[in-house]
Chains A and B, each alone.
Chain A
Amino acid sequence: MSTDEMVRAERPAATVVHRARRALSGFDRRFLPVLGTILTLMIMLGVGQERYSTERVDFISMKLLSNLLVDNSYLLVLAVGMTFVILTGGIDLSVGAVVALVGLSIAEMFSAGLPIVVVLPVAVLIGTTCGLLIGVMVQVFDIQPFIASLAVMFLARGLANVISVNSLKIDDDGFSALAAWSLKFGEGRELWRINASIVVALSVLLIAFLVLHYTRFGRSVYGLGAGDGGAAVNLMGLRPARTRVWVYVISGTCAGIAGVLFALYTKSGFNLTGIGMELDAIAAVVIGGTLLSGGVGFVLGTGAGVLVYGLIQVLIAREGLDSWWTRVFIGVVLLAFVVLQRVLAVRRR
């Protein structure tokens, strides 16, 4: 603030410079959190390259990227859905439990002999239904998103427990083929691949990007988070009620898709999967530069946030540290980002 005042005092002399700087900083600041994310990503990649490259293999390679995406595709999809909800100023705690429920449902449906073309859509629809339930509770009954999604989290976890408390193996030929399918690039040590999970996750990210930035719905999502609990959106002639239900439906659907991806990844369903996964997703969204108060953020930033998240795990594993360090590091990174965002927000004012 003091710098602003100083600049203001010199205004007559430096109007042009000031105006240029303001235009530049106005552009910059909106993207600054995302730039911070990308900078973090760069630093982590640099550290990794420095410490873990051997003469034959670089740390930074397409292989690393494809492994990161394979290991975190479900998280990416979850985080994309979560971005929609958080942009409206809401929260969805149910996604981890929904992933577990979907995984078990898939296993159960396959063992009941249903074909894969039925199973996968139904699995995704389970997620959609959970999201719809939250949306209705939030919009129609005016229950806070936190509590509504908490209730659905308990519901999904309870249903998952009812289906089975054991790990159910998924052995369907079509499903296994889908899990094993991949496009291979490069050779030998440089070999990297694109599998179905990556394709799905990146498609979801792309669609989310287009929807958020190039449609009326996307504008409404930002408006809901930015303008006085939907009043502003309403005055603009958009549809706040419908939009608010839709973001939870989207998040639920993404959780359903993530459940399928997680089942592809583990080839099983287990009722204890996804405990705390919602926090991973929220953390990735926050690291990606989206403000939890809503209205500010980019879904592509979320993508970068997921990569940072995955890279932390890779670095910890390469460093040979015990796994609990991961949590401490994620906490530290979160702390750094939240404080950074706060500093930026204060300066903007």
Chain B
Amino acid sequence: MSPTTAPGQRAAGPARGSRGADVWREVTHHGLFWPLLALVLLILACGVASPGFLDVTVRDGHLFGQLVDLMRNSATPLLLALGMCLVIATGGIDLSVGAVMAIALAVSLTYLDNAADPSAPGTVLTAVLLGLAVGGLGGMFNGAMVAGLGIQPFIATMILMVAGRGIAMLITQGQITTVTSPPFKSIGSGFVLGVPTPVVIAVVTFGLVVLLVRRTALGMFLESIGINREASRLAGVRSRRTTWTVYVIAGVLAGLAGLVYGAPTMAADANNIGLMKELDAIMVVVLGGTKLDGGRFYLGGLLVGAMLLSTLERAVIIFQLPSQTTPLFKALVLIAVCVAASPTLRAMLRGRRRADRSDAPAAPVETTPAQEVTA
């Protein structure tokens, strides 16, 4: 499951390769090497194309600059991808997150709209909690289908994906509900200690999820379920309950992402909020080095993936390309990263290299434990 080359295939001969070559090989075989390389190159290219790109200034006590904007834009995909990554680790997938975003925002804003004083902190807090609860409810439905009834995750979550947008439209009565509530708006466009609120929310959530997953046994359970559900059940992992929990977490995070995404405009556009965001989230997870098969997952990779996605979207504008060509570049990056990370290509390259110097067996390479990425 881990992005390693099978160490057993390498002849354990005398270590003739230099130390530097070993490190180099270890680095390039790391699951995050290609996405990180792509990100750095992209940011540098943007910096060259638009000289002010890398500047970060402090204005009115707030951080300003393109990089800060990029991080703000990464918040939503990161939140979605966090939940998605956990779900994918169990061997599942959650297609409903985009629709859940729309439902959560619709419920929150409809509640604010009907409230006596939309700006009162208590009301806003209730609205936020309501949005998160609705997200959790969506997750519970998904979890019940997947863990309870044993339906394939793809189709189980697709039901909510198809119906969810209709439900959001029912909640808003087909209107685009707009409200004015400065405290709610600040969730999306405010600052905490000079840092944009969405970034703070995303980073704090990320930290909490990492703590939850890596400081408890949950992460290991998830991986074991993803690798072999039946075996992990026999080993005493409560696979059903754990799977269910993961879908609920993904639902709550999707609800949160919906609030963060929709807060700046304060408009519950049920048709367009979160449209295709599930695909972006899955792309972030894949760019972060996690395989869709389930099992091993890398939360640290999500940071790189989310940044790569939003940088890509921004780069298209910076290079003065028409913004509607963005999908094209997404496709190219996705294909390039996937093919570069594919074991087949490595085997082909390695085969050629080995043929070149067939008398020099490579030094034994330890499996690259990508675990530290998650710390």
A165 adjacent to chain B (CB < 8 Å): yes
- A142 near B155 with CB under 8 A, answer no
- A151 near B159 with CB under 8 A, answer no
* Residue interface mask A314-349, B partner, CB < 8 A = 1: 000000001011111011101100110010001000
Contacts of A338 in B (CB 8 A): 145, 151, 155-156, 159
With the chains together, A90 CA to B216 CA distance in Å? 34
A233 adjacent to chain B (CB < 8 Å): no
B21 adjacent to chain A (CB < 8 Å): no
Known: A142-B343, A150-B334, A325-B166. A158 touches B150 (CB 8 A): no
- B286 near A165 with CB under 8 A, answer no
With the chains together, A330 CA to B328 CA distance in Å? 31
B365 adjacent to chain A (CB < 8 Å): no
- A137 near B339 with CB under 8 A, answer yes
Interface-lining segment among A19-27, A50-58, A197-205, A279-287: A279-287
With the chains together, A147 CA to B167 CA distance in Å? 28
* Residue interface mask B104-136, A partner, CB < 8 A = 1: 000000000000000000000000000000000
B344 adjacent to chain A (CB < 8 Å): yes
A-B contact count (CB 8 A): 135
CB < 8 Å neighbour of A332 from B150, B155, B163, B329:
B163
With the chains together, A265 CA to B292 CA distance in Å? 37
- A157 near B279 with CB under 8 A, answer no
With the chains together, A282 CA to B292 CA distance in Å? 19
A117 adjacent to chain B (CB < 8 Å): no
Contacts of B166 in A (CB 8 A): 324-328, 331
Known: A141-B342, A328-B163, A331-B159. A154 touches B331 (CB 8 A): yes
Contacts of A111 in B (CB 8 A): none
Residue of chain A at shortest CB distance from B332:
A155
| Among A146, A324, A334, A346, residue most surrounded by chain B Cβ atoms (within 10 Å) | A324
- B327 near A158 with CB under 8 A, answer yes
Residue of chain B at shortest CB distance from A136:
B339
- A282 near B345 with CB under 8 A, answer no
- B342 near A158 with CB under 8 A, answer no
Residue of chain A at shortest CB distance from B347:
A142
Contacts of B328 in A (CB 8 A): 154-155, 157-159, 161-162
CB < 8 Å neighbour of A151 from B162, B163, B335:
B335
With the chains together, A299 CA to B362 CA distance in Å? 51
Contacts of A210 in B (CB 8 A): none
- A146 near B93 with CB under 8 A, answer yes
Distance from A149 Cβ to chain B, minimum over Cβ atoms (Å): 11
* Residue interface mask A107-149, B partner, CB < 8 A = 1: 0000000000000000000000000000001001111101110
Distance from B55 Cβ to chain A, minimum over Cβ atoms (Å): 30
Within residues 238 to 294 of chain A, which ones have a CB less than 8 A from any CB in chain B?
A: 271, 275, 279, 282-283, 286, 292-293
Contacts of A151 in B (CB 8 A): 331, 334-335, 338
B186 adjacent to chain A (CB < 8 Å): no
Contacts of B282 in A (CB 8 A): 146-147, 150
- B169 near A324 with CB under 8 A, answer yes
Contacts of B28 in A (CB 8 A): none
Contacts of B366 in A (CB 8 A): none
- B165 near A327 with CB under 8 A, answer yes
Residue of chain A at shortest CB distance from B154:
A292
Residue of chain B at shortest CB distance from A94:
B331
Contacts of B155 in A (CB 8 A): 282, 286, 292, 334, 338
- B154 near A150 with CB under 8 A, answer no
Interface-lining segment among B207-215, B227-235, B318-326: B318-326
With the chains together, A327 CA to B169 CA distance in Å? 10
Contacts of A307 in B (CB 8 A): none
Within residues 152 to 185 of chain B, which ones have a CB less than 8 A from any CB in chain A?
A: 152, 154-156, 158-167, 169-170, 174
* Residue interface mask B300-333, A partner, CB < 8 A = 1: 0000000000000000000000101111111110
- A339 near B151 with CB under 8 A, answer yes
With the chains together, A140 CA to B152 CA distance in Å? 26
Contacts of A157 in B (CB 8 A): 327-328
Within residues 251 to 310 of chain B, which ones have a CB less than 8 A from any CB in chain A?
A: 270, 275-276, 279, 282-283, 286, 291-293
Contacts of B325 in A (CB 8 A): 158, 161-162
- A143 near B149 with CB under 8 A, answer no
- B339 near A141 with CB under 8 A, answer yes
CB < 8 Å neighbour of A146 from B169, B292, B322:
B292
A91 adjacent to chain B (CB < 8 Å): yes
Contacts of B270 in A (CB 8 A): 324
CB < 8 Å neighbour of A154 from B170, B322, B330:
B330
Known: A158-B325, A161-B327, A327-B165. A147 touches B170 (CB 8 A): no
Q: What are the 8 closest A-B residue pairs judged by CB atoms, nearest first?
A: A331-B163, A158-B328, A327-B166, A154-B331, A155-B331, A324-B169, A158-B327, A161-B324
Name 13 interchain pairs, CB-CB below 8 A, sorted by A. Answer: A146-B93, A147-B338, A150-B279, A151-B334, A153-B279, A154-B328, A155-B328, A158-B331, A279-B158, A331-B164, A334-B158, A334-B163, A346-B150
Residues of A within 8 A of B (CB): 91, 93, 137, 140-144, 146-148, 150-155, 157-159, 161-162, 165, 271, 275, 279, 282-283, 286, 292-293, 322, 324-328, 330-332, 334-335, 338-339, 342, 346
